[in-house]
A and B are shown apart, each in its own frame.
Chain A
Amino acid sequence: MDFTLNEEQRMFRNMFRDFAAKEIAPHAEEMDHQETLPPSILQKAANQGFLGATLPEDYFGAALDSVSYAMLIEALASASVSVAMTIASHVSLVAMSILAHGSDAQKEEWLPALAAGEVIGAFALTEPDAGSDAAALQSRAVVQGEEVVLDGVKTWVTNGATAGLFLVFARGAEGVDACLVPRDAPGLSVGYREPTLGLRSVSFNTIYLEGCRVPLANRLGAPGQGWTIAQQAQDRLALAVAAAALGVASSAIDVAAQFATERIQFGVPIGQKQAIQNYIATAVTEVEALRYLLYHAAWQADQEGLDAFDVSVVKVFGARIARSVTNWMLQVLGGYGFMEDYPMARKYRDARTLGIVGGPTELHSFRIAQHVFAGRDLEIAL
């Protein structure tokens, strides 16, 4: 088993880290406190190819493999989990869905613009009464001649405020349909932005579809294929969430370890205290485990592809480690960890969201159990 990165991957990793350190880290605190994400930062990311990270070069993407993509999200999240999740949602949920399921015309129309960052993608699945539960989806898609008419309300739409393209899921005649809805489509309005605990630079919006009309040609994939498209998109995102978890956790350890060498109490740096050593040792162990779990999953995604089981294992573990590590590294910082002019509080808040964003941990645990019991011929229900 060869665990080394190839030369290209090593080069990418350095490039991603440099970018994060130079272009994102200096602005991370301000972005979080102002709850903004300056378009200039996204544009710089687009110029590097990040907004088309895994798209093929034909569509002006950077054609990164999954391992490199995971490293990108990890590096971005080390500086700002908000930036990482903005880009990951754009790439994994929207752009890659079009790549996987779009017609040639759809790919031509949207992928170059998405890769260039001219259009930001938003994913509109969740509804007030339907989070993880497909059967509860109430938005409707009715075919009328050469158009699809969409009606419904979508909540927690990532990138809602800035998106030029919405991937909307609604119930059609044959099941759930997926539709590409440009921002200027008649009948689409973007509403309330959710103020959040973490990921404060990400815009989560409620959008309203009121007799929203798009050409039939904007339907993505076959009628009734929408739920599969949504599931696959979320599985891709789950991997990105785990990468973000790795980034926030490992950067939290860096901050805490540095602090522990500088903070003197009782005449010595607190790094000399066994309790502090234990917190750091546990955190490092957890992060190492996550690192290899994540990169193995990413590598596997490029080999045979990932199934629900692999994705869920990585996501559950990632969310747990992000939470645990940021919590204990905050404790190492003591009072400073609670102040918003140090980075730890922000990392702590951002990390907490990762157990819910991309599907709550409990749902993923169920999928893991489902896989285990299916292998023993027992079908389990939620």
Chain B
Amino acid sequence: MRIVVVLGRVLDPAGIVVNARAGRVFVNREEYLLQPADRCALEAALRVKDELGAEVVALPRSPLPDDDVLRQALALGVDRAIYLTGEGLRQADDAAMVRALKAAIERLGGADLLLTGATTLDSGQTQLGPRLAEALGWPQVTAGWSLKVADGRAQVVRQQGSQYVLVEAMLPAVVTLQPGSLKLRYPDGARLVNIYKNVGEIAQALETWDAVELVGEPLTPLVEGRGRDFPPPRERGARAAGSAAEMAQAAAAALRQRVGR
């Protein structure tokens, strides 16, 4: 069985200070964490490996300037990690990245399960898992709190409203996991030392592939970023008084005025 885990990094929020008034972000300490949700996805993969035996391969969620996140994954216990490079990869957005990841999975020879985080800590986006599922043509279960694999199915507990439901998907499937969903293991010390020193068997487990070569065409992003700004200052609202019906009328009128209709 092969499990692909897609991992990314995020700037440690403890090292940054956001000053909205000055319109600036101060990075006091530039340190990166594994995306917390991706870390849970990795933990889930390793648990399946512990229980059933599997080959776990780590791939990057977005273009990475270095392979640190993949080395962390190897220290934690994945069998292989693929670092992607390539002309223009740096500008790739999720849509472009998905094409690269799909090609990488094909080059691996396919997979039975793809796990990644349900959401990212910095941008709060949840689209990577679903995009991958669409691209691969696999069923997807998102925002899971736990995962079990049995009889060729992924069994995922996810929250729906105020309930928890168990959802089953036939493998191969994409499952995304919530941050904080699982108690995380620590890396193995010897693996960690060896992968960072680039010695031993584990050093061979980290490979570098050219994403553009894999895909066979440029990875043009779908979305073009034109700039960054702080959100405009929040304005004060207005107060409505009177009976419930009167307040509702007043609120509707104010909203209409605001929206300009």
Let me know if chains A and B touch directly in the complex, using CB atoms closer than 8 Å. no
Binding site for B on A (CB under 8 A): none
Give residues in B with beta carbon < 8 Å to A.
Answer: none
